[in-house]
Amino acid sequence: MSNIIGIDLGTTNSGVAIVNNGRPQMLPYGEKNIIPSVVGRAPNGKWLVGTPAWNQYILDPDNTAVSIKRHMGEDYHVDLGDKRLTPAQVSALILRQLKIIAERHLGETVSEAVITVPAYFSDSQRQATRDAGRIAGLKVQRIINEPTAAALAYGLNLEEDKLILVYDLGGGTFDVSLVELMGGIVEVLASHGDTHLGGDDFDYQLARYLADRFDEENDTDIWGDSRAQARLLRAAEQVKIKLSNRPFAWVKEEYLFEKDGIPLHFEHEVSRSLFETEIKPLLEKTAASIEQVLQDADISAEEIDRVLLVGGSSRIPLVRQLIIDLLDIEPEIGINPDEAVALGAAVQAAIIQGEPIDAILVDVTPHSLGIATAELRLGTVIPDQYKVLIPRNSTIPISAEELFHTLYPGQTKIEIQVYQGEKEIASQNRLLGEFLVENLEATTDEGRAQITVRFDFDMDGILQVTARDRATGQEADMTIEASLKRLDETDIENAQNDISALRPLPDTTKALIARANALLANETDGMDKVMYEKLETLLSDIALAQVNHDVLRIDELSETLLDFLFDLE
Ligand code: AMP
């Protein structure tokens, strides 16, 4: 076993890993694989590191240091209790805690480490990191770049020539690097980033938004109070994390503030779309950095082989979307982004000691999982769209939740069809199961019902699908055994044949739909609004019947449509 430990000394969280029997693994502390990079001084003079320090931050932010990495190498200090500390000294307390965690696991003294730093760290920032190690009693065997560590963690075959983009969005810093693997050497070709951009900023943005809502409700100025501010920041972070796999989340803070001696509570629901609007300008900066890196290295997007996501904030769904929109590559999140860098540091440590290393084993979903939806575009129903809730290669267990609404006003039931696969047309994937949700009640102004669909996928490949009516809270669910194996081509073909046999609409119905669509397209010819809506509803009903494989209903609706068109034309 290698006894040089690998350390990710992060802005928000830090972690320690080791290679054991060829396998890189995190060394957990209690239930968690990472600890908050927070240091505090308790009133009794005791040093607090990690979660206890983070808990103290709410009560006593002035005696607690967060995000110290932002100041590494600067002429800067923090006062904690009666002690004045440099950033290297604060970092040393975090490193010392990680050293203790490792020693407890290994049952022996640990004295050497590989520590990671962002690729853009200057010499003085790297030196401050070495100093921190020395103060903590660790000989720093090597300082390596975080993107290099990530590439190592992903077990990339170093001998293969590849261009990898590592997008690392953590708590306090953003860093994008273009890494070239060539002849066993990992080289950072270009890197760009922002030392003051990350999850903390998203929390801040959201906390300010919440403070404004609170002030509106109570005619207060809550932001001026440092304890209330710390609580709002923490609440914002919790909501942000929840919104990574669900469309809405609640903030509930009791006794948040006091006004004229009266305690004030706060409850507010935040939607993912609001959060995305708040952080979009910040994420756009990361897109600009990607473009900068490509330009600096004189590389076009098409030349990139893989995109690796690192850092806790890269779990935000909008990040994945941004990469796809910008580079047209599905980014990889196979390894827990919070752990990738520490695991890579452990791999580097093992390499230094000449230890053999196996690939990191992660359980991932081999296929995307989603549901069939229909869309209304310019008055035409486009059925059989595939909306992915859990993208393939997601680490399991995983949960995801999305919001949907009914297609037309007054619709009271929907059929949830669960598919597994990668095709954009839902029915070309493998149908895993279907169930009906009934008695829906309208919530939107146009009279549509809103339904949240939640997927919970566990380690055994069991998928629990829950649909919930937002108006009534009523739920319907089903449990499905999803495949953890990759389907082979014949499986996929068979699955497609099974389903497409049920699919096509009769030619007569197709012709009627074409006629109806032509009429709708020329709607300016003076068609009555009521007629227009009736026609639209009929088309939606047919689409729905098609999605539900309801052949009898399709026949019935086709006849109604025929009569209706006859009248109209
Ligand atoms: P890191 O510095 O890489 O440990 O990243 C920590 C940051 O990631 C913090 O700002 C966390 O709030 C954020 N984070 C962790 N998990 C999630 C998640 N599921 N969704 C969004 N942000 C997250």
DSSP-derived secondary structure for 89-156: HHHHHHHHHHHHHHHHHHTS---EEEEEE-TT--HHHHHHHHHHHHHTT-EEEEEEEHHHHHHHHTT-
- Helices 199-218 and 226-243: crossing angle, nearest 10°? 120
CB proximity list for 237: less than 8 A, separation 6 or greater: 199, 203
* Distance (Å, whole) CA 214 – CA 208: 10
Pick from 348, 364, 380: which residue ends a domain?
364
CATH code, domain with 217? 3.90.640.10
Cβ–ligand 1 distance for 64 under 6 Å, the answer: no
Cβ–ligand 1 distance for 129 under 6 Å, the answer: no
Cβ–ligand 1 distance for 240 under 6 Å, the answer: yes
DSSP-derived secondary structure for 256-320: EEEETTEEEEEEEEEEHHHHHHHHHHHHHHHHHHHHHHHHHHT--GGG--EEEEESGGGGSHHHH
Pick from 349, 364, 379: which residue ends a domain?
364
Indicate if the pLDDT at residue 529 is higher than 70.
yes
Name which residue leads in pLDDT, 79 or 381.
79
Cα 200 to ligand 1 centre (Å): 9
* Distance (Å, whole) CA 353 – CA 19: 11
Q: State whether 268 and 285 are in the same domain.
A: no
What's the whole-number mean pLDDT along residues 400-413? 88
Residues annotated as catalytic (active site), given as ranges = 8, 69, 146, 168
Task: Give the closest residue (by CA) to ligand 1 atom 7.
Answer: 171
Beta bridge partners of 250: 269
438-to-168, 357, 442 alpha-carbon distances in Å: 43, 53, 12
Predicted model pTM? 0.71
Which range of residues forms the domain containing residue 122?
4-198+281-364
Provide the phi-psi class of 166: left if phi over 0, else alpha when psi is between -120 and 50, else beta. beta
Q: State whether 320 and 387 are in the same domain.
A: no
Closest ligand 1 atom to the C-alpha of 240? 21
Indicate if the pLDDT at residue 494 is higher than 80.
no
pLDDT of residue 486: 54
Question: Looking at the domain assignment, is residue 496 inside a domain?
Answer: no
Q: How many residues does the chain have?
A: 569
pLDDT of residue 167: 95
* Distance (Å, whole) CA 217 – CA 253: 14
Question: Looking at the domain assignment, is residue 108 inside a domain?
Answer: yes
Cβ–ligand 1 distance for 312 under 6 Å, the answer: yes
Indicate if the pLDDT at residue 67 is higher than 80.
yes
Indicate if the pLDDT at residue 46 is higher than 60.
yes
pLDDT of residue 540: 73
Q: How confident is the model at residue 176 (pLDDT cuts 50, 70, 90)?
A: very high
Cα 167 to ligand 1 centre (Å): 14
What's the whole-number mean pLDDT along residues 381-387? 87
Q: State whether 309 and 169 are in the same domain.
A: yes
Q: State whether 254 and 313 are in the same domain.
A: no
Model confidence pLDDT, tens digit, residues 199-234? 999 999 999 999 999 999 999 999 999 899 999 999
Closest ligand 1 atom to the C-alpha of 245? 19
Beta bridge partners of 140: 113
Beta pairing, strands 248-259 & 262-271: antiparallel
Q: How confident is the model at residue 69 (pLDDT cuts 50, 70, 90)?
A: very high
Cα 241 to ligand 1 centre (Å): 7
Closest ligand 1 atom to the C-alpha of 12? 2
Model confidence pLDDT, tens digit, residues 115-165? 999 888 888 898 999 999 999 999 999 999 898 898 888 876 655 778 999
Closest ligand 1 atom to the C-alpha of 172? 2
Q: State whether 301 and 443 are in the same domain.
A: no
Indicate if the pLDDT at residue 72 is higher than 90.
yes
Question: Looking at the domain assignment, is residue 164 inside a domain?
Answer: yes
Cβ–ligand 1 distance for 11 under 6 Å, the answer: yes
Model confidence pLDDT, tens digit, residues 434-478? 999 999 998 888 888 999 999 998 877 788 999 999 999 999 999
Cα 48 to ligand 1 centre (Å): 21
Q: State whether 379 and 447 are in the same domain.
A: yes
Question: Looking at the domain assignment, is residue 88 inside a domain?
Answer: yes
Cβ–ligand 1 distance for 320 under 6 Å, the answer: no
Q: State whether 60 and 161 are in the same domain.
A: yes
Closest ligand 1 atom to the C-alpha of 199? 10
Cα 336 to ligand 1 centre (Å): 11
Model confidence pLDDT, tens digit, residues 85-102? 999 999 999 999 999 999
Cα 482 to ligand 1 centre (Å): 28
pLDDT of residue 282: 96
Q: Locate tokens 């009906």: which residue?
A: 436
Q: Out of 26-35, 181-190, 365-374, which region has the weakest mean confidence (pLDDT)?
A: 181-190
Q: State whether 294 and 335 are in the same domain.
A: yes
pLDDT of residue 95: 97
Cβ–ligand 1 distance for 357 under 6 Å, the answer: no
What's the whole-number mean pLDDT along residues 261-270? 96
Q: How confident is the model at residue 321 (pLDDT cuts 50, 70, 90)?
A: very high
Q: State whether 189 and 73 are in the same domain.
A: yes
CATH code, domain with 382? 2.60.34.10
Pick from 340, 364, 388: which residue ends a domain?
364
Average pLDDT, the chain: 87
Count: domains in the chain:
4
Q: Is 508 strand, coil or helix?
A: helix
Question: Looking at the domain assignment, is residue 491 inside a domain?
Answer: no
Task: Give the closest residue (by CA) to ligand 1 atom 1.
Answer: 170
Name which residue leads in pLDDT, 552 or 99.
99
Instruction: Please name which of 569, 469, 443 lies closest in space to residue 515, comparing C-alpha atoms.
Output: 569
Question: Looking at the domain assignment, is residue 414 inside a domain?
Answer: yes
Indicate if the pLDDT at residue 52 is higher than 70.
yes
Name which residue leads in pLDDT, 97 or 494.
97
pLDDT of residue 498: 39
Task: Give the closest residue (by CA) to ligand 1 atom 18.
Answer: 241
Indicate if the pLDDT at residue 38 is higher than 90.
yes
Question: Looking at the domain assignment, is residue 26 inside a domain?
Answer: yes
For the chain, give the percent of residues with pLDDT over 70. 90
Q: State whether 221 and 260 are in the same domain.
A: yes
Indicate if the pLDDT at residue 485 is higher than 70.
no
Question: Looking at the domain assignment, is residue 61 inside a domain?
Answer: yes
Q: Which tokens is 305 given?
A: 């082989």
Q: State whether 84 and 188 are in the same domain.
A: yes
pLDDT of residue 382: 83
pLDDT of residue 21: 85
Q: State whether 542 and 441 are in the same domain.
A: no
Instruction: Determine the residue of 194, 241, 336 to mutate for testing ligand 1's pocket, defined as the one with the most ligand atoms within 8 A of the Cβ atom.
Output: 241
Q: Which tokens is 5 given?
A: 């430990």
Amino acid at 6: G
Cα 536 to ligand 1 centre (Å): 44
